[in-house]
Amino acid sequence: MVSARLREVDALRSFALGGILMVNIWYFADPYTLAGAVSPGHQSAADLAVRFTVAALFEAKFYLLFSFLFGYSFVLQWRAAITATASPVQRMQRRLAALFVLGLLHGLFLFFGDILLTYSLMGLILLATQSLRTSSAVVTGSALIGVLGSLILAVGLFIASAGAGAPSAAVPVDPGAITESAGSAFSSNADNFLDNVAGVVFLQGPLSLGMFYLGLAAGRARLLERRLSTRTLTTTAATCLPVGLAAGAFQAYLTIYGNGDRFSVLAFGISTLTAPLQTAGYVSLLLLLFRTTAGAQICGLLAPAGRMALTNYLMQSVIMALVFTAYGLRLSNGLPAIAVAGIAVVIFVAQLILSCLLLVRIRTGPAEWLLRRVTYGAPGDRVPGS
């Protein structure tokens, strides 16, 4: 029963990975995404409808789920270290250091929107405060999201009511730079990473940390390892999903069809406060689906990609860089929105299939293997069974 529940954790991680891909691909495909806008060359009714759908259903929802599962996995790894009579603190310190290095390399060479570096830094805070009582972790996580979201919302309401545009340091990525040559693509990405990393850490960081704490509390309660009642999942979905979807649609409308300069901060505030509800609704529906015959098969298809989520996350950036930048096909700013969304679907489906095939032959993905070597590789603290 426990192994079945852990398979669901992997499936949820894979589900989050697919949603993150659908959001991240636009930063490669549309140079104006970084500035919170849509390319002037791709603003047909069909293009905007696709972007609206992605913003409403995907943006800011799936990295929250990934963050929640990071906190949940923190508990699983802590328990594993205790069982192995190893130091959980030292293991986690090595793991976070490896994530920092991977995030730095990923951000510089492939994708300026890297989240691994932020996770490593927020993970250090989680590690330093892991002795918090479970109830305190819930309160702290909720407060981080609620307070930051409320502040952003208040600023957004002020800007919107004043009728003025929000000051923004973000500018469109130069499409010529990322498609001219491999060297210029690297320089453009590295510059954008260095310019934006502080914003990612100080905005997404606290939100991720908030979800870390909620995941920590859920992990201690073995929330995903025991069978939540159908009534609980149904009630959560019925309560959270309508509110989350309505807010997501409103936020997407402001972002895609409204005055971006005037309403972008307001939209971000709405998303920050309500995206966790939408995420909780998605998870509840998915867990209910996994209990059906067809859903169990879907869970089995999703889980392998979740087991090697780090490898798949990094490979997504490799593939997108090859498709859209001068590292490969140079298709940035050259495809309609429906084609971009279709490419994201194809990439994810291919990863699902390849992950299933690969894990039949090996225990874990390459990036996971490296992370495990660093985490467990100190003398006297080896990987169990290795």
In the prediction, which pLDDT does 171 show?
57
pLDDT beyond 70 at 264: yes
Average predicted confidence (pLDDT) for the chain: 92
- Measured CA distances, 245 to 100, 287, 323 (Å): 34, 18, 31
Burial class (CB in 10 A: 0-12, 13-18, 19+), 248: buried
pLDDT beyond 70 at 3: no
Burial class (CB in 10 A: 0-12, 13-18, 19+), 306: buried
Q: Which pair of structure tokens corresponds to residue 324? A: 């859209």
Tell me: the pLDDT tens digits for 348-371? 999 999 999 999 999 899 999 999
Tell me: the pLDDT tens digits for 191-204? 999 999 999 999 99
Prediction pTM value: 0.93
In the prediction, which pLDDT does 270 show?
96
- Gap between the Cα atoms of 286 and 310, Å rounded: 22
In the prediction, which pLDDT does 384 show?
43
Helices (H) and strands (E) in the chain, counts: 15, 0
Tell me: the pLDDT tens digits for 4-19? 558 999 999 999 999 9
Q: Are 35 and 236 in contact (CB under 8 A)?
A: no
Q: Which pair of structure tokens corresponds to residue 322? A: 């090859």
Sign of the alpha-carbon dihedral angle for 335, 199, 58, 10? positive
What is the average pLDDT across 84-90?
Answer: 93
- Gap between the Cα atoms of 271 and 265, Å rounded: 10
pLDDT beyond 90 at 380: no
Q: Per DSSP, which regions of the chain are E strands?
A: none
Q: Name residue, tokens 């260095």.
A: 194
pLDDT band at 1 (very low <50, low <70, confident <90, very high): very low
Q: Are 71 and 216 in contact (CB under 8 A)?
A: yes
Tell me: the pLDDT tens digits for 303-348? 999 999 999 999 999 999 999 999 999 999 999 999 999 999 999 9
Tell me: the pLDDT tens digits for 48-84? 999 999 999 999 999 999 999 999 999 999 999 999 9
pLDDT beyond 60 at 169: no
Sign of the alpha-carbon dihedral angle for 294, 295, 296, 299? positive
In the prediction, which pLDDT does 303 show?
97
Whole-number percent of the chain with pLDDT over 90: 85
In the prediction, which pLDDT does 376 show?
87
